[in-house]
Copies of this chain bind each other. A is one copy, B any other.
Amino acid sequence: MTDERPPDSLRALTHALRQFAAERDWDQFHSPKNLVMALSVEVSELMEHFQWLTPEAATALNAEQREAVREELADVLLYLVRLADKLEVELIAAAADKIEKNAAKYPADLARGSMRKYTELKP
C-alpha cells in the first residue's frame, strides 16, 4: 500500500448519502443553510433524551433509551457528513487538523483538570 492514509469509512457514507439524495431528487433541498438547520434539529432530538435525566441516570440508559439514542447519534452523523460533502470539506482531515490545533491551545500540563477557555489558561 503506497497511500499512507487509513481508509476512510466516512467516504463510503458520503457516497451512500449522495446516492440516497439523487434517487429521491432531494439535492434541491440540501442547501448548506437547510442542512445546518437539520443538523441542529437532530442534535436536539438527541438532547431531548438527556434533558431531564440526572447525570447518573444519563450514564445508565436502559435498552430502549440506548437504541433511541443510537439512532439519533446516527442521524447527527448523517447530516454532518452530508453537509461536509456539500461544503467540500474532508471531515477526517479537518478533525485531525483540529486535534493538533487543540493540543497546542490546551497544553496538557496547563489544562489538566480545568475547563477554562484556552485564552484564560495561565502558566
A residues apposed to B, CB below 8 Å: 6-10, 12-13, 16-17, 20, 23-26, 28-29, 31-34, 36-41, 43-48, 50-53, 55, 58-59, 61, 66, 69-71, 73-78, 80-81, 83-84, 86-87, 89, 91-92, 94-99, 101-103, 106, 108, 111-113, 115
Do residues B50 and A77 form an inter-chain contact, with CB atoms below 8 A?
Answer: no
Identify which of A36, A47, A106, A108 gathers the most chain B CB atoms within 10 Å of its CB.
A36
Chain B residues with CB below 8 A from A103, complex form: 20
Do B58 and A77 have beta carbons less than 8 Å apart?
Answer: no
What are 24 residue pairs bridging A and B, where the CB atoms are less than 8 Å apart in the complex? A6-B7, A6-B9, A13-B99, A17-B99, A20-B99, A24-B106, A24-B108, A24-B112, A25-B112, A31-B59, A36-B37, A36-B43, A36-B46, A37-B51, A41-B44, A41-B48, A70-B87, A70-B89, A73-B87, A74-B91, A74-B97, A77-B94, A77-B95, A78-B98
